[in-house]
Structure 1
Amino acid sequence: MARIRENFDEQAAEERVNTDLEQGLSDYKAKYGSIVKELEELEKVLPEKLAAIQREINSLNDRLIDIDKEANEATNAIGHHGNTLVQCLTDVRSLAKAINNGATAYTPLVGVLK
Protein backbone atom coordinates (compact mmCIF):
# COMPACT_ATOMS: atom_id res chain seq x y z
CA MET A 1 0.00 0.00 0.00
CA ALA A 2 2.83 2.37 0.83
CA ARG A 3 4.37 1.69 -2.51
CA ILE A 4 1.12 2.55 -4.34
CA ARG A 5 0.84 5.78 -2.35
CA GLU A 6 4.46 6.58 -3.13
CA ASN A 7 3.87 5.91 -6.82
CA PHE A 8 0.71 8.07 -6.73
CA ASP A 9 2.64 10.93 -5.05
CA GLU A 10 5.35 10.70 -7.69
CA GLN A 11 2.77 10.80 -10.49
CA ALA A 12 1.05 13.79 -8.89
CA ALA A 13 4.38 15.58 -8.55
CA GLU A 14 5.20 14.83 -12.20
CA GLU A 15 1.78 16.12 -13.25
CA ARG A 16 2.32 19.33 -11.26
CA VAL A 17 5.73 19.81 -12.87
CA ASN A 18 4.27 19.13 -16.33
CA THR A 19 1.41 21.55 -15.68
CA ASP A 20 3.85 24.24 -14.54
CA LEU A 21 6.07 23.64 -17.57
CA GLU A 22 3.09 23.75 -19.94
CA GLN A 23 1.91 27.00 -18.35
CA GLY A 24 5.39 28.52 -18.66
CA LEU A 25 5.64 27.36 -22.27
CA SER A 26 2.22 28.81 -23.02
CA ASP A 27 3.26 32.18 -21.53
CA TYR A 28 6.47 32.22 -23.56
CA LYS A 29 4.61 31.30 -26.76
CA ALA A 30 2.15 34.14 -26.19
CA LYS A 31 4.96 36.63 -25.56
CA TYR A 32 6.85 35.34 -28.59
CA GLY A 33 3.76 35.71 -30.76
CA SER A 34 3.16 39.30 -29.65
CA ILE A 35 6.82 40.19 -30.22
CA VAL A 36 6.76 38.64 -33.71
CA LYS A 37 3.59 40.59 -34.54
CA GLU A 38 5.12 43.85 -33.26
CA LEU A 39 8.29 43.20 -35.26
CA GLU A 40 6.29 42.58 -38.44
CA GLU A 41 4.43 45.87 -37.94
CA LEU A 42 7.70 47.72 -37.43
CA GLU A 43 9.15 46.12 -40.56
CA LYS A 44 6.18 47.48 -42.54
CA VAL A 45 6.73 51.02 -41.21
CA LEU A 46 10.53 51.00 -41.52
CA PRO A 47 10.77 51.78 -45.27
CA GLU A 48 8.44 54.77 -44.86
CA LYS A 49 10.47 56.12 -41.97
CA LEU A 50 13.74 55.62 -43.84
CA ALA A 51 12.30 57.44 -46.86
CA ALA A 52 11.16 60.33 -44.65
CA ILE A 53 14.61 60.56 -43.06
CA GLN A 54 16.25 60.50 -46.49
CA ARG A 55 13.94 63.30 -47.70
CA GLU A 56 14.87 65.37 -44.64
CA ILE A 57 18.58 64.73 -45.26
CA ASN A 58 18.17 65.81 -48.89
CA SER A 59 16.29 68.94 -47.83
CA LEU A 60 18.95 69.86 -45.28
CA ASN A 61 21.67 69.19 -47.83
CA ASP A 62 19.94 71.52 -50.30
CA ARG A 63 19.72 74.19 -47.60
CA LEU A 64 23.41 73.74 -46.85
CA ILE A 65 24.26 74.15 -50.53
CA ASP A 66 22.15 77.33 -50.68
CA ILE A 67 23.87 78.71 -47.57
CA ASP A 68 27.26 77.91 -49.09
CA LYS A 69 26.29 79.71 -52.31
CA GLU A 70 25.13 82.76 -50.32
CA ALA A 71 28.39 82.75 -48.37
CA ASN A 72 30.38 82.61 -51.60
CA GLU A 73 28.33 85.47 -53.06
CA ALA A 74 28.91 87.54 -49.92
CA THR A 75 32.61 86.73 -50.06
CA ASN A 76 32.79 87.82 -53.67
CA ALA A 77 30.87 91.02 -52.90
CA ILE A 78 33.20 91.93 -50.03
CA GLY A 79 36.28 90.76 -51.90
CA HIS A 80 39.32 88.75 -50.86
CA HIS A 81 37.24 86.71 -48.46
CA GLY A 82 36.68 89.75 -46.27
CA ASN A 83 40.39 90.05 -45.52
CA THR A 84 40.49 93.52 -47.04
CA LEU A 85 37.80 94.79 -44.67
CA VAL A 86 39.39 93.09 -41.68
CA GLN A 87 42.80 94.51 -42.57
CA CYS A 88 41.30 98.00 -42.98
CA LEU A 89 39.64 97.85 -39.56
CA THR A 90 42.84 96.55 -37.98
CA ASP A 91 44.79 99.41 -39.54
CA VAL A 92 42.24 101.94 -38.20
CA ARG A 93 42.61 100.51 -34.71
CA SER A 94 46.43 100.55 -34.82
CA LEU A 95 46.44 104.09 -36.29
CA ALA A 96 44.20 105.32 -33.50
CA LYS A 97 46.56 103.79 -30.94
CA ALA A 98 49.60 105.25 -32.68
CA ILE A 99 48.28 108.82 -32.51
CA ASN A 100 47.03 108.33 -28.93
CA ASN A 101 43.40 109.00 -29.84
CA GLY A 102 44.39 112.38 -31.24
CA ALA A 103 42.26 111.98 -34.35
CA THR A 104 38.61 112.15 -33.36
CA ALA A 105 37.43 111.13 -36.82
CA TYR A 106 38.36 107.51 -36.05
CA THR A 107 36.64 107.45 -32.64
CA PRO A 108 33.34 105.88 -33.86
CA LEU A 109 35.20 103.12 -35.71
CA VAL A 110 37.52 102.43 -32.79
CA GLY A 111 34.50 102.31 -30.46
CA VAL A 112 32.87 99.67 -32.68
CA LEU A 113 36.06 97.61 -32.79
CA LYS A 114 36.44 97.46 -28.99
Structure 2
Amino acid sequence: MATKTPHTRFVSLRLTESDLLDLAAQAEQAGLSRSELIRRRALNLPVLSRTDIQTADSIDKVGRLMKFLYPKNKAWATAEERRKYWRTIEDLQRTSQVLRGNPEEEKCSPK
Protein backbone atom coordinates (compact mmCIF):
# COMPACT_ATOMS: atom_id res chain seq x y z
CA MET A 1 0.00 0.00 0.00
CA ALA A 2 1.34 3.42 -0.94
CA THR A 3 1.95 5.85 1.88
CA LYS A 4 0.09 9.14 1.83
CA THR A 5 2.05 12.32 1.35
CA PRO A 6 1.19 14.66 4.21
CA HIS A 7 -0.47 17.94 3.31
CA THR A 8 1.91 20.54 4.72
CA ARG A 9 1.05 23.70 2.76
CA PHE A 10 -1.85 26.01 3.56
CA VAL A 11 -4.06 28.15 1.33
CA SER A 12 -6.19 30.99 2.69
CA LEU A 13 -9.66 31.50 1.33
CA ARG A 14 -12.35 34.07 2.10
CA LEU A 15 -16.00 33.11 1.82
CA THR A 16 -19.32 34.65 2.72
CA GLU A 17 -21.27 33.03 5.51
CA SER A 18 -23.74 31.54 3.03
CA ASP A 19 -20.89 30.19 0.84
CA LEU A 20 -19.33 28.56 3.90
CA LEU A 21 -22.65 26.96 4.88
CA ASP A 22 -23.12 25.72 1.31
CA LEU A 23 -19.60 24.29 1.26
CA ALA A 24 -20.16 22.56 4.60
CA ALA A 25 -23.42 21.04 3.31
CA GLN A 26 -21.71 19.78 0.15
CA ALA A 27 -18.88 18.26 2.20
CA GLU A 28 -21.40 16.57 4.51
CA GLN A 29 -23.32 15.16 1.54
CA ALA A 30 -20.10 13.75 0.07
CA GLY A 31 -18.89 12.44 3.43
CA LEU A 32 -15.72 14.55 3.25
CA SER A 33 -14.13 17.28 5.32
CA ARG A 34 -14.33 20.81 3.94
CA SER A 35 -10.59 20.74 3.28
CA GLU A 36 -10.81 17.49 1.33
CA LEU A 37 -13.76 18.77 -0.70
CA ILE A 38 -11.88 21.97 -1.64
CA ARG A 39 -8.73 19.95 -2.41
CA ARG A 40 -10.59 17.59 -4.73
CA ARG A 41 -12.36 20.42 -6.49
CA ALA A 42 -9.12 22.38 -6.94
CA LEU A 43 -7.32 19.33 -8.37
CA ASN A 44 -10.26 18.30 -10.60
CA LEU A 45 -10.66 15.01 -8.73
CA PRO A 46 -14.08 13.35 -8.56
CA VAL A 47 -16.36 14.20 -5.65
CA LEU A 48 -19.00 11.51 -5.17
CA SER A 49 -21.94 12.05 -2.89
CA ARG A 50 -23.03 9.34 -0.49
CA THR A 51 -26.43 9.46 -2.18
CA ASP A 52 -24.87 8.41 -5.50
CA ILE A 53 -23.05 5.54 -3.83
CA GLN A 54 -26.22 4.37 -2.06
CA THR A 55 -28.14 4.58 -5.33
CA ALA A 56 -25.41 2.61 -7.11
CA ASP A 57 -25.59 -0.07 -4.39
CA SER A 58 -29.36 -0.33 -4.86
CA ILE A 59 -28.99 -0.62 -8.63
CA ASP A 60 -26.39 -3.36 -8.12
CA LYS A 61 -28.84 -5.26 -5.92
CA VAL A 62 -31.54 -5.08 -8.60
CA GLY A 63 -29.07 -6.31 -11.22
CA ARG A 64 -27.95 -9.23 -9.05
CA LEU A 65 -31.56 -10.14 -8.34
CA MET A 66 -32.39 -10.12 -12.05
CA LYS A 67 -29.34 -12.28 -12.74
CA PHE A 68 -30.37 -14.69 -9.96
CA LEU A 69 -33.93 -14.92 -11.26
CA TYR A 70 -32.85 -15.54 -14.86
CA PRO A 71 -34.67 -18.74 -15.88
CA LYS A 72 -32.44 -21.72 -16.63
CA ASN A 73 -34.97 -23.10 -19.10
CA LYS A 74 -34.31 -21.43 -22.45
CA ALA A 75 -37.88 -22.13 -23.60
CA TRP A 76 -39.22 -19.24 -21.51
CA ALA A 77 -38.38 -16.65 -24.18
CA THR A 78 -37.05 -16.14 -27.67
CA ALA A 79 -33.37 -15.48 -28.25
CA GLU A 80 -34.12 -11.78 -28.82
CA GLU A 81 -36.06 -11.52 -25.54
CA ARG A 82 -33.17 -13.19 -23.67
CA ARG A 83 -30.72 -10.70 -25.23
CA LYS A 84 -32.95 -7.81 -24.10
CA TYR A 85 -33.00 -9.25 -20.57
CA TRP A 86 -29.19 -9.37 -20.45
CA ARG A 87 -28.88 -5.92 -22.02
CA THR A 88 -31.01 -4.59 -19.17
CA ILE A 89 -28.67 -6.17 -16.61
CA GLU A 90 -25.65 -4.72 -18.42
CA ASP A 91 -27.32 -1.28 -18.50
CA LEU A 92 -27.88 -1.50 -14.74
CA GLN A 93 -24.22 -2.38 -14.22
CA ARG A 94 -23.05 0.53 -16.39
CA THR A 95 -25.35 2.96 -14.58
CA SER A 96 -24.00 1.78 -11.24
CA GLN A 97 -20.41 2.26 -12.40
CA VAL A 98 -21.13 5.78 -13.69
CA LEU A 99 -22.71 6.74 -10.35
CA ARG A 100 -19.57 5.52 -8.61
CA GLY A 101 -17.46 7.68 -10.92
CA ASN A 102 -15.97 4.65 -12.65
CA PRO A 103 -17.21 4.50 -16.24
CA GLU A 104 -15.25 1.30 -16.95
CA GLU A 105 -17.78 -1.36 -17.72
CA GLU A 106 -17.69 -5.00 -16.82
CA LYS A 107 -20.08 -7.08 -18.82
CA CYS A 108 -21.85 -10.00 -17.33
CA SER A 109 -22.68 -12.94 -19.49
CA PRO A 110 -25.32 -15.63 -19.18
CA LYS A 111 -24.09 -18.98 -17.95
| TM-score in terms of structure 2 length | 0.30
Relative contact order: is structure 1 or structure 2 higher (C-alpha 8 Å, sep ≥ 6)?
2
Q: Which has the higher helix share?
A: 1
* TM-score, scaled to structure 1: 0.29
Q: Which structure is larger by alpha-carbon Rg, 1 or 2?
A: 1
